[in-house]
Amino acid sequence: MNDLLSRSSHVCSIVLLLLNAALPAYAQVDPASPTQTVFVFVQRTGGAANFGSRHLFEHVVNDLQEYLKEKKIASVIRTDDFSSGVALPLSAVQEMARNANATYLLYVIVDRPLTLQVLGDVRVGEVVVIANKAAAFGRIETVQSAERAWRAGRLILKLQTVTLVNRKEQQLEAWNASKGADTGAAIEWTNAVIQSYGFALLALPFAPLQHGNQALLYKGTVLDAVTTGDTLLARDEIEAAQPEPPEPHIGPANATVYYPDLGHGSSVDIWCGQLRVGRLRRGGKLTLILPPARYWLRLGPGGRAMMTPLDAESGAEQYVSVVVTRVTSTQLETYWPPHLSVVPHDIGEAQAADTTTAKSQHVLTADKLDLSQLQTDPHKKNK
Protein backbone atom coordinates (compact mmCIF):
# COMPACT_ATOMS: atom_id res chain seq x y z
CA MET A 1 0.00 0.00 0.00
CA ASN A 2 2.99 2.33 0.38
CA ASP A 3 3.30 2.77 -3.39
CA LEU A 4 -0.33 3.87 -3.79
CA LEU A 5 -2.26 6.96 -2.80
CA SER A 6 -5.95 6.61 -2.02
CA ARG A 7 -7.82 9.58 -3.47
CA SER A 8 -11.23 9.78 -1.81
CA SER A 9 -13.99 12.22 -2.62
CA HIS A 10 -12.21 15.35 -1.40
CA VAL A 11 -13.91 18.66 -2.13
CA CYS A 12 -11.96 21.14 -4.24
CA SER A 13 -12.96 24.72 -4.98
CA ILE A 14 -12.89 25.75 -8.61
CA VAL A 15 -13.00 29.24 -9.99
CA LEU A 16 -14.85 29.72 -13.27
CA LEU A 17 -12.62 31.51 -15.77
CA LEU A 18 -14.50 31.31 -19.04
CA LEU A 19 -18.05 30.80 -20.19
CA ASN A 20 -18.03 29.92 -23.87
CA ALA A 21 -20.07 26.90 -24.84
CA ALA A 22 -22.53 26.01 -27.58
CA LEU A 23 -25.51 23.80 -26.93
CA PRO A 24 -26.78 21.51 -29.67
CA ALA A 25 -30.37 22.03 -30.71
CA TYR A 26 -32.28 18.81 -31.24
CA ALA A 27 -34.54 18.28 -34.24
CA GLN A 28 -38.22 17.67 -33.68
CA VAL A 29 -39.45 15.02 -36.14
CA ASP A 30 -42.71 13.10 -36.25
CA PRO A 31 -41.63 9.53 -35.36
CA ALA A 32 -44.85 8.09 -36.77
CA SER A 33 -43.64 8.49 -40.35
CA PRO A 34 -41.06 5.79 -41.22
CA THR A 35 -40.00 7.58 -44.40
CA GLN A 36 -38.62 10.62 -42.60
CA THR A 37 -34.90 10.53 -41.92
CA VAL A 38 -32.71 13.09 -40.20
CA PHE A 39 -29.19 13.64 -41.47
CA VAL A 40 -27.13 14.70 -38.46
CA PHE A 41 -23.80 16.40 -39.02
CA VAL A 42 -21.73 17.08 -35.90
CA GLN A 43 -18.73 19.36 -36.18
CA ARG A 44 -16.47 20.91 -33.58
CA THR A 45 -14.87 24.32 -33.86
CA GLY A 46 -11.18 25.10 -33.73
CA GLY A 47 -11.64 26.26 -30.14
CA ALA A 48 -13.14 22.91 -29.17
CA ALA A 49 -10.34 21.09 -30.98
CA ASN A 50 -7.59 23.12 -29.29
CA PHE A 51 -9.02 23.41 -25.79
CA GLY A 52 -11.45 20.52 -25.43
CA SER A 53 -10.53 16.88 -24.99
CA ARG A 54 -11.63 14.33 -27.58
CA HIS A 55 -13.74 12.32 -25.15
CA LEU A 56 -15.91 15.39 -24.45
CA PHE A 57 -16.69 15.68 -28.16
CA GLU A 58 -17.48 11.97 -28.29
CA HIS A 59 -19.72 12.41 -25.26
CA VAL A 60 -21.78 15.01 -27.15
CA VAL A 61 -22.13 12.66 -30.14
CA ASN A 62 -23.15 9.76 -27.89
CA ASP A 63 -25.74 11.89 -26.07
CA LEU A 64 -27.17 12.96 -29.42
CA GLN A 65 -27.40 9.35 -30.60
CA GLU A 66 -29.14 8.31 -27.38
CA TYR A 67 -31.65 11.13 -27.74
CA LEU A 68 -32.54 10.21 -31.32
CA LYS A 69 -32.83 6.56 -30.37
CA GLU A 70 -35.07 7.36 -27.41
CA LYS A 71 -37.37 9.47 -29.60
CA LYS A 72 -37.36 6.74 -32.30
CA ILE A 73 -36.09 9.15 -34.92
CA ALA A 74 -34.44 7.55 -37.93
CA SER A 75 -31.09 9.25 -38.45
CA VAL A 76 -27.79 9.16 -40.29
CA ILE A 77 -24.96 10.67 -38.26
CA ARG A 78 -21.72 12.00 -39.70
CA THR A 79 -18.97 13.82 -37.79
CA ASP A 80 -16.19 16.06 -38.94
CA ASP A 81 -13.62 15.96 -36.13
CA PHE A 82 -11.37 18.63 -37.57
CA SER A 83 -8.74 20.77 -35.92
CA SER A 84 -7.96 23.36 -38.58
CA GLY A 85 -10.62 25.74 -37.32
CA VAL A 86 -12.15 26.04 -40.81
CA ALA A 87 -15.84 25.16 -40.69
CA LEU A 88 -17.35 23.02 -43.43
CA PRO A 89 -19.69 25.18 -45.55
CA LEU A 90 -23.38 24.65 -44.95
CA SER A 91 -23.92 24.02 -48.66
CA ALA A 92 -21.54 21.04 -48.50
CA VAL A 93 -23.44 19.61 -45.53
CA GLN A 94 -26.75 20.11 -47.33
CA GLU A 95 -25.37 18.24 -50.33
CA MET A 96 -24.41 15.29 -48.08
CA ALA A 97 -27.93 15.27 -46.64
CA ARG A 98 -29.47 15.17 -50.12
CA ASN A 99 -27.16 12.32 -51.15
CA ALA A 100 -28.32 10.40 -48.06
CA ASN A 101 -31.97 10.95 -49.12
CA ALA A 102 -32.67 12.58 -45.74
CA THR A 103 -35.84 14.57 -45.12
CA TYR A 104 -34.32 16.83 -42.46
CA LEU A 105 -30.88 18.18 -41.66
CA LEU A 106 -29.60 18.73 -38.12
CA TYR A 107 -26.30 20.63 -38.17
CA VAL A 108 -24.65 20.60 -34.71
CA ILE A 109 -21.61 22.75 -33.94
CA VAL A 110 -19.75 21.86 -30.75
CA ASP A 111 -17.79 24.81 -29.40
CA ARG A 112 -15.09 24.79 -26.75
CA PRO A 113 -16.16 23.53 -23.32
CA LEU A 114 -16.36 25.65 -20.22
CA THR A 115 -12.82 26.24 -19.06
CA LEU A 116 -12.22 26.40 -15.32
CA GLN A 117 -9.23 26.33 -13.04
CA VAL A 118 -8.71 24.93 -9.57
CA LEU A 119 -8.49 27.42 -6.74
CA GLY A 120 -5.75 26.23 -4.38
CA ASP A 121 -3.79 22.98 -4.16
CA VAL A 122 -5.72 19.78 -3.39
CA ARG A 123 -3.65 17.43 -1.21
CA VAL A 124 -3.70 13.92 0.17
CA GLY A 125 -1.72 14.38 3.35
CA GLU A 126 1.27 16.48 2.28
CA VAL A 127 1.21 15.34 -1.35
CA VAL A 128 -0.36 17.63 -3.98
CA VAL A 129 -2.60 15.62 -6.30
CA ILE A 130 -4.33 18.57 -8.03
CA ALA A 131 -2.25 21.70 -8.40
CA ASN A 132 -3.46 25.26 -8.03
CA LYS A 133 -4.72 26.60 -11.39
CA ALA A 134 -5.01 23.08 -12.84
CA ALA A 135 -7.38 22.95 -15.80
CA ALA A 136 -10.91 21.66 -15.36
CA PHE A 137 -13.77 21.35 -17.81
CA GLY A 138 -17.53 21.32 -17.71
CA ARG A 139 -20.56 21.86 -19.86
CA ILE A 140 -23.95 23.53 -19.69
CA GLU A 141 -26.61 20.85 -19.35
CA THR A 142 -29.75 22.97 -19.24
CA VAL A 143 -30.63 26.52 -20.19
CA GLN A 144 -34.09 27.88 -19.48
CA SER A 145 -34.77 31.40 -20.65
CA ALA A 146 -36.53 33.93 -18.43
CA GLU A 147 -40.25 34.13 -19.04
CA ARG A 148 -43.14 36.42 -18.38
CA ALA A 149 -44.78 36.73 -14.96
CA TRP A 150 -41.28 37.40 -13.55
CA ARG A 151 -40.18 33.78 -14.02
CA ALA A 152 -36.40 33.77 -13.68
CA GLY A 153 -34.11 31.98 -16.11
CA ARG A 154 -32.24 28.85 -15.01
CA LEU A 155 -28.88 27.44 -15.95
CA ILE A 156 -27.47 24.07 -14.88
CA LEU A 157 -23.75 23.41 -15.21
CA LYS A 158 -22.11 20.00 -14.93
CA LEU A 159 -18.43 19.84 -13.98
CA GLN A 160 -16.81 16.93 -15.80
CA THR A 161 -13.04 16.52 -15.46
CA VAL A 162 -10.00 18.02 -13.73
CA THR A 163 -6.32 17.53 -14.56
CA LEU A 164 -4.13 15.84 -11.94
CA VAL A 165 -0.46 16.71 -11.39
CA ASN A 166 0.52 13.68 -13.51
CA ARG A 167 -1.48 15.22 -16.40
CA LYS A 168 -4.15 12.54 -16.25
CA GLU A 169 -7.81 13.47 -16.09
CA GLN A 170 -10.00 12.75 -13.09
CA GLN A 171 -13.78 12.60 -13.39
CA LEU A 172 -15.76 15.07 -11.30
CA GLU A 173 -19.19 14.62 -9.80
CA ALA A 174 -20.78 18.01 -9.40
CA TRP A 175 -23.77 19.99 -10.59
CA ASN A 176 -24.22 23.71 -10.13
CA ALA A 177 -27.41 25.65 -10.78
CA SER A 178 -27.82 29.36 -11.33
CA LYS A 179 -31.09 31.26 -11.20
CA GLY A 180 -31.88 34.75 -12.41
CA ALA A 181 -31.84 37.46 -9.77
CA ASP A 182 -35.06 38.72 -8.22
CA THR A 183 -36.56 41.51 -10.30
CA GLY A 184 -37.88 43.40 -7.28
CA ALA A 185 -41.13 43.88 -9.19
CA ALA A 186 -43.30 43.60 -6.07
CA ILE A 187 -41.54 46.53 -4.40
CA GLU A 188 -41.48 48.57 -7.60
CA TRP A 189 -45.21 48.13 -8.16
CA THR A 190 -45.95 48.92 -4.51
CA ASN A 191 -43.97 52.16 -4.81
CA ALA A 192 -45.69 53.01 -8.08
CA VAL A 193 -49.15 52.58 -6.52
CA ILE A 194 -48.22 54.68 -3.46
CA GLN A 195 -46.51 57.46 -5.41
CA SER A 196 -49.34 57.66 -7.97
CA TYR A 197 -52.01 57.72 -5.26
CA GLY A 198 -53.47 54.49 -6.63
CA PHE A 199 -53.60 55.35 -10.33
CA ALA A 200 -50.93 52.69 -11.05
CA LEU A 201 -53.53 50.06 -10.15
CA LEU A 202 -54.98 50.62 -13.62
CA ALA A 203 -51.78 49.20 -15.14
CA LEU A 204 -51.44 46.35 -12.65
CA PRO A 205 -53.19 43.78 -14.92
CA PHE A 206 -50.28 44.20 -17.37
CA ALA A 207 -47.64 43.47 -14.72
CA PRO A 208 -47.42 39.71 -15.50
CA LEU A 209 -46.21 40.62 -19.00
CA GLN A 210 -42.85 41.54 -17.47
CA HIS A 211 -40.06 39.02 -17.85
CA GLY A 212 -37.81 37.73 -15.09
CA ASN A 213 -34.02 38.06 -15.12
CA GLN A 214 -31.80 35.69 -17.04
CA ALA A 215 -29.51 33.30 -15.18
CA LEU A 216 -25.88 34.39 -15.40
CA LEU A 217 -22.55 32.83 -14.46
CA TYR A 218 -19.88 35.49 -14.22
CA LYS A 219 -16.19 35.06 -14.72
CA GLY A 220 -14.59 34.36 -11.36
CA THR A 221 -17.58 32.46 -9.97
CA VAL A 222 -16.46 29.89 -7.38
CA LEU A 223 -17.89 26.38 -7.71
CA ASP A 224 -17.49 23.33 -5.49
CA ALA A 225 -16.77 19.88 -6.88
CA VAL A 226 -15.93 16.36 -5.69
CA THR A 227 -14.13 13.58 -7.50
CA THR A 228 -16.15 10.58 -8.67
CA GLY A 229 -15.59 7.76 -6.18
CA ASP A 230 -12.19 6.61 -4.92
CA THR A 231 -9.07 6.59 -7.06
CA LEU A 232 -5.75 4.79 -6.53
CA LEU A 233 -2.77 6.78 -7.77
CA ALA A 234 0.83 5.60 -8.12
CA ARG A 235 2.74 7.42 -5.36
CA ASP A 236 6.06 7.60 -7.23
CA GLU A 237 4.30 9.08 -10.29
CA ILE A 238 2.49 11.71 -8.23
CA GLU A 239 5.56 12.62 -6.17
CA ALA A 240 7.67 13.00 -9.32
CA ALA A 241 5.15 15.49 -10.70
CA GLN A 242 4.96 17.74 -7.62
CA PRO A 243 4.74 21.43 -8.52
CA GLU A 244 7.64 23.70 -7.66
CA PRO A 245 7.02 25.89 -4.60
CA PRO A 246 6.44 29.53 -5.51
CA GLU A 247 9.47 31.79 -5.24
CA PRO A 248 9.21 34.43 -2.52
CA HIS A 249 8.88 38.00 -3.76
CA ILE A 250 10.39 40.94 -1.94
CA GLY A 251 9.45 44.55 -2.52
CA PRO A 252 6.34 46.70 -2.66
CA ALA A 253 2.89 45.22 -3.12
CA ASN A 254 0.83 45.73 -6.26
CA ALA A 255 -2.79 46.35 -5.27
CA THR A 256 -5.22 46.43 -8.19
CA VAL A 257 -8.58 48.06 -7.53
CA TYR A 258 -11.09 47.09 -10.23
CA TYR A 259 -14.75 47.77 -10.97
CA PRO A 260 -16.50 44.88 -12.80
CA ASP A 261 -18.76 46.02 -15.62
CA LEU A 262 -21.83 44.22 -14.27
CA GLY A 263 -25.34 45.39 -13.53
CA HIS A 264 -25.89 48.64 -11.66
CA GLY A 265 -23.37 51.22 -10.51
CA SER A 266 -21.87 54.59 -11.42
CA SER A 267 -18.43 56.15 -11.13
CA VAL A 268 -16.74 56.03 -7.72
CA ASP A 269 -13.82 57.82 -6.07
CA ILE A 270 -11.16 55.59 -4.51
CA TRP A 271 -9.61 56.86 -1.27
CA CYS A 272 -6.64 55.43 0.58
CA GLY A 273 -6.08 56.86 4.06
CA GLN A 274 -6.61 60.61 3.68
CA LEU A 275 -5.87 60.75 -0.06
CA ARG A 276 -8.07 60.40 -3.12
CA VAL A 277 -6.04 58.11 -5.38
CA GLY A 278 -8.32 57.83 -8.38
CA ARG A 279 -11.75 57.59 -9.93
CA LEU A 280 -13.18 54.47 -11.52
CA ARG A 281 -16.02 53.81 -13.88
CA ARG A 282 -17.57 50.41 -14.41
CA GLY A 283 -15.11 48.24 -16.31
CA GLY A 284 -12.05 50.19 -15.10
CA LYS A 285 -9.11 49.48 -12.81
CA LEU A 286 -6.13 51.21 -11.24
CA THR A 287 -3.02 49.88 -9.51
CA LEU A 288 -1.43 51.07 -6.27
CA ILE A 289 2.22 50.20 -5.62
CA LEU A 290 2.54 50.29 -1.84
CA PRO A 291 5.17 49.43 0.80
CA PRO A 292 4.10 46.56 3.09
CA ALA A 293 1.75 47.96 5.74
CA ARG A 294 -1.93 48.19 6.60
CA TYR A 295 -3.98 50.64 4.54
CA TRP A 296 -7.59 51.75 4.78
CA LEU A 297 -9.56 52.00 1.54
CA ARG A 298 -12.97 53.54 1.08
CA LEU A 299 -15.28 55.11 -1.49
CA GLY A 300 -15.70 58.81 -0.86
CA PRO A 301 -14.15 61.26 1.61
CA GLY A 302 -16.87 61.16 4.24
CA GLY A 303 -16.25 59.69 7.67
CA ARG A 304 -19.32 57.47 7.30
CA ALA A 305 -17.91 55.65 4.27
CA MET A 306 -17.32 51.93 4.83
CA MET A 307 -13.64 51.26 5.53
CA THR A 308 -11.93 48.26 3.93
CA PRO A 309 -8.57 47.25 5.44
CA LEU A 310 -5.86 46.13 3.05
CA ASP A 311 -2.78 44.41 4.48
CA ALA A 312 -0.23 44.97 1.74
CA GLU A 313 2.24 42.06 1.73
CA SER A 314 5.82 42.20 0.49
CA GLY A 315 5.99 41.51 -3.25
CA ALA A 316 2.36 40.36 -3.43
CA GLU A 317 -0.20 40.95 -6.15
CA GLN A 318 -3.48 41.77 -4.42
CA TYR A 319 -6.93 42.64 -5.68
CA VAL A 320 -9.74 44.81 -4.38
CA SER A 321 -13.13 44.79 -6.11
CA VAL A 322 -15.86 47.41 -6.20
CA VAL A 323 -18.98 45.47 -5.23
CA VAL A 324 -22.50 46.81 -5.82
CA THR A 325 -25.31 45.28 -3.77
CA ARG A 326 -29.03 45.81 -3.73
CA VAL A 327 -30.56 47.30 -0.59
CA THR A 328 -34.22 47.99 0.15
CA SER A 329 -34.99 50.62 2.76
CA THR A 330 -37.85 50.57 5.27
CA GLN A 331 -39.66 52.99 2.95
CA LEU A 332 -39.49 50.31 0.21
CA GLU A 333 -36.98 52.32 -1.80
CA THR A 334 -34.26 50.39 -3.65
CA TYR A 335 -30.62 51.49 -3.58
CA TRP A 336 -27.46 50.07 -5.12
CA PRO A 337 -24.66 51.23 -2.76
CA PRO A 338 -21.10 50.27 -3.77
CA HIS A 339 -18.38 49.16 -1.38
CA LEU A 340 -14.86 47.72 -1.60
CA SER A 341 -13.97 44.09 -0.93
CA VAL A 342 -10.56 42.38 -0.86
CA VAL A 343 -10.79 39.21 -2.97
CA PRO A 344 -8.46 36.18 -3.28
CA HIS A 345 -5.67 36.58 -5.81
CA ASP A 346 -6.84 34.08 -8.44
CA ILE A 347 -10.43 35.33 -8.40
CA GLY A 348 -9.35 38.95 -8.65
CA GLU A 349 -6.88 38.12 -11.41
CA ALA A 350 -9.63 36.45 -13.46
CA GLN A 351 -12.19 39.21 -12.95
CA ALA A 352 -9.78 42.12 -13.39
CA ALA A 353 -8.64 40.71 -16.74
CA ASP A 354 -11.93 41.91 -18.25
CA THR A 355 -11.41 45.49 -17.09
CA THR A 356 -9.29 48.24 -18.63
CA THR A 357 -6.87 50.65 -17.00
CA ALA A 358 -8.21 54.09 -16.20
CA LYS A 359 -7.19 56.84 -18.58
CA SER A 360 -5.36 58.73 -15.86
CA GLN A 361 -3.67 57.73 -12.62
CA HIS A 362 -3.95 54.02 -13.41
CA VAL A 363 -0.62 53.22 -11.69
CA LEU A 364 0.21 55.12 -8.52
CA THR A 365 3.39 54.62 -6.53
CA ALA A 366 3.93 55.64 -2.95
CA ASP A 367 6.81 57.94 -3.89
CA LYS A 368 4.35 60.14 -5.81
CA LEU A 369 2.07 60.45 -2.79
CA ASP A 370 2.40 61.31 0.88
CA LEU A 371 3.03 57.91 2.51
CA SER A 372 1.97 59.13 5.95
CA GLN A 373 -1.41 60.23 4.59
CA LEU A 374 -1.82 56.95 2.67
CA GLN A 375 -1.29 54.96 5.86
CA THR A 376 -3.50 57.15 8.06
CA ASP A 377 -6.18 55.22 9.91
CA PRO A 378 -9.37 57.31 9.51
CA HIS A 379 -10.84 55.61 12.60
CA LYS A 380 -8.17 57.08 14.85
CA LYS A 381 -8.35 60.51 13.26
CA ASN A 382 -12.09 60.74 13.88
CA LYS A 383 -11.78 59.95 17.58
Q: What is the pLDDT of residues 314-354, one digit of tens each?
A: 999 999 999 988 776 665 566 678 899 999 998 899 889 88
Contact 152, 298 (CB under 8 A): no
Helices (H), the chain: 46-51, 54-70, 90-99, 185-195, 235-240, 345-352, 371-374, 378-381
Pick the residue with more confidence: 32 or 353?
353
Burial of 367 per CB tally in 10 Å (0-12, 13-18, 19+): exposed
Predicted local confidence at residue 319, as pLDDT: 96
Residue positions counted in the chain: 383
- CA separation for the pair 91, 14 (Å, rounded): 42
Q: CA 228 from chain center: how many Å?
A: 23
Q: Which of 143-147, 190-194, 208-212, 340-344 has the highest mean pLDDT?
A: 340-344
Residue 84 to residues 50, 55, 298, Cα–Cα distance (Å): 9, 18, 50
Least Cα distance to 103 among 37, 174, 49, 190 occurs for 37
Predicted local confidence at residue 18, as pLDDT: 36
Helices (H), 27-154: 46-51, 54-70, 90-99
Of the chain, the percentage scoring pLDDT greater than 90 comes to 14
Is the per-residue pLDDT at 1 higher than 60?
A: no
Is the per-residue pLDDT at 86 higher than 70?
A: no
Task: Band the pLDDT of 60: cuts 50, 70, 90.
Answer: confident
Predicted local confidence at residue 296, as pLDDT: 92
Q: What are phi and psi of 260, to 5 degrees?
A: -55, 140
- CA separation for the pair 228, 160 (Å, rounded): 10
The topology (CATH level 3) of 1-20+115-181+209-246 is Lipocalin (2.40.128)
Is the per-residue pLDDT at 46 higher than 90?
A: no
Indicate the Cα dihedral angle 232, 235, 240, 241, nearest 10°. 30
Contact 25, 143 (CB under 8 A): no
Is the per-residue pLDDT at 80 higher than 90?
A: no
Q: Which of 19-23, 260-264, 336-340 has the highest mean pLDDT?
A: 336-340
Q: CA 154 from chain center: how many Å?
A: 15
pLDDT in tens, 215-246: 777 778 888 888 877 778 888 899 999 998 88
Strands 253-258 and 317-324: parallel
Pick the residue with more confidence: 31 or 363?
363
Is the per-residue pLDDT at 307 higher than 50?
A: yes
Is the per-residue pLDDT at 13 higher than 60?
A: no
Is the per-residue pLDDT at 360 higher than 60?
A: no
Of the chain, the percentage scoring pLDDT greater than 70 comes to 70
Indicate the Cα dihedral angle 65, 69, 70, 71, nearest 10°. 110
**Mean model confidence pLDDT for the chain:** 76
- CA separation for the pair 191, 200 (Å, rounded): 9
Q: Which of 15-24, 189-198, 283-292 has the highest mean pLDDT?
A: 283-292
Q: Residue 229 has what DSSP assignment? A: S
Residue 122 to residues 116, 132, 188, 227, 326, Cα–Cα distance (Å): 15, 8, 46, 11, 35
Is the backbone of residue 52 left (phi > 0), alpha (psi -120 to 50) or beta? Answer: beta
Predicted local confidence at residue 367, as pLDDT: 63
Range of lowest pLDDT (34-43, 77-86, 145-154, 336-345): 77-86
Predicted local confidence at residue 54, as pLDDT: 67
Q: Where are the domains of the chain?
A: 1-20+115-181+209-246, 22-112, 253-378
Predicted local confidence at residue 110, as pLDDT: 76
Contact 185, 210 (CB under 8 A): yes
pTM of the entire structure?
0.64
Pick the residue with more confidence: 103 or 193?
103
Q: CA 383 from chain center: how many Å?
A: 42
Q: Once rounded to an integer, what is the mean pLDDT over residues 348-362?
A: 78
Q: Once rounded to an integer, what is the mean pLDDT over residues 88-102?
A: 86
Predicted local confidence at residue 71, as pLDDT: 80
Task: Band the pLDDT of 10: cuts 50, 70, 90.
Answer: very low
Q: CA angle at residue 117 from 113 to 123, to 5 degrees?
A: 130
Predicted local confidence at residue 318, as pLDDT: 95
Pick the residue with more confidence: 165 or 67?
165
Segment 18-22 long-range contacts (CB within 8 Å, at least 24 positions apart): 18/114, 18/115, 18/116, 18/219, 19/114, 19/217, 19/219, 20/47, 20/111, 20/112, 20/114, 20/115, 21/111, 21/112, 21/113, 21/114, 21/139, 21/140, 22/109, 22/110, 22/111
Q: Once rounded to an integer, what is the mean pLDDT over residues 59-82?
A: 78
Contact 343, 319 (CB under 8 A): yes
Helices (H), 115-184: none
Contact 98, 41 (CB under 8 A): no
Predicted local confidence at residue 383, as pLDDT: 47
Least Cα distance to 166 among 132, 136, 130, 137 occurs for 130
